[in-house]
Structure 1
Amino acid sequence: MSGGRPAGERATNGTARPAPGRWFHRPLPRPDARLRLVCVPHAGAGAAVFRPWAERLAPDVELVAVRLPGRESRLREPGRESRLREPPARHWPTLAQDLAAALDDQVPAPYVLFGHSMGAMLVYETVRRPLARPPEKVLLSGCRAPHVPRALPAIHALPPERFLAELGRLAATPAAVLARPALMELLEPVLRADIRLAETWHHPAPDPLPVPATVFWGTTDDVAPPDAVAAWRHLAPHGFGARPVEGGHFFPFSPEDGTGHLLHLLDDETAPAATRRPRGSDRA
């Protein structure tokens, strides 16, 4: 495809850019799909968190999960190397530029970009830069608008014991993982780097979104409260929708709370315009 950078081009920090093919995982390939739903994970997570969604989307929508640097040791595919040995991202411009290059190189139009929490921040940072093929829309989940201060104290600079104690709440890290010191020694640099990016992300005078946006929030989310998420409306001159979902900050990945409801809403958001269900009071 045209529009991508050569695999050997160097990033702005002087390191070699990863090959664009490392950026995406397609758990259920649908080469003839009408639309791609490109999903960006939250802090500390990998593409695997979206794998259960693939079979639950409409049959003409292909799920494309983003593989961020510093993770994904299990998602082995032909031509796809693990990104586990890559350093985690530490600067928004480099991360966004590299994802933009990969989208231009690997994802055909039309597509929709979904991101949860830090993933939604990366969606914003990516689409505010020039793209050869912009998404049809962006879907921003569990994420405050860029001009809204964070709701909770920062944890990324805490000493190790206190940092680990906060991870279960802020990064959905299972207790079984936290209890394994060797595994946490491997994961902690990625978690700290991701959470630092998320906690220091702020634009007092943000650029407007260049495409329509729909936001989703958890009704009991204390990380990204409803008012903080709804503030995206001021940055969406091309169209804005708001969808509350039952649950806390990780409602997209909680079957007992919001996963099923969210997937139903994603079907609506990715349906062709001619067949899209009417939207009533859930539009803000």
Structure 2
Amino acid sequence: MAYEFITTEQVGNVLKVTMNRPEVYNAVHGPMHDEMSDCWDKFASSEDQWVAVLTGAGDKAFTAGNDLKWTAQGGAQATTTKGFAGLSSRFDLEKPIIAAVNGFAMGGGFETALSCDIIIASDQATFALPEVKVGFFAAASGVQRLSRYIGRLAAQEIMYTGRKVDTAEALALGMVNQVVPHAELMDAAMAKAQEIASVSPSSVKATKRVLNALNVTEGMKASNEYSREVIADLMKTEDFKEGVSAFVEKRKPNWVNK
């Protein structure tokens, strides 16, 4: 499969994947979801790719998340069943992925980073789950992962308000592993990937296999599937339609609570 919306490069045993729609801040639409899902399928089956680094094209955005304009225009939806960016519902991948967050990671963009194993952020990065501002909620595992990683109390305030979190707060809360100067981001991410690639790949896969099992036994997988049911109900509401319309029209939404 030739990719149009992502680029890939292999460096030793490390696969570098770049979300490549900088003109829309690397927002993910249906075709891009499917390309990324195919990329992760191939990564999973490759004997020569042991670790991946995921980043976004340009200096402004890791990814803005869901391409709401594409959705509002009735664009083709993803066919993958593996979740946002082909990743958020993928609970059987046994190889680690490092998110190199080079700018803002919003909504599904932050959920994509949370679906990775390690998050290294540029000091210019910002994070948010702002779905509640446009009639959605963080249904691509954001509710589950953020509350698990930083604790429910802190996560609830961030998700209920949809506010932005800078790198200092993100590091203090444990939302990211490391913050580095912007110019050093990819070097830091690739160095961490090479560090992982220097140990036994079989041992790393065994470790992640157990972690994946925890996602099942502790209910994250089931909860993620339940999120899809809830979002389907939410999409039938007037507030959902209003949120998308207001975003596209660049105006304040008029919520009606139904």
The structure that is helix-richer by fraction is 2
Output the TM-score relative to the length of structure 2: 0.36
Output the TM-score relative to the length of structure 1: 0.33
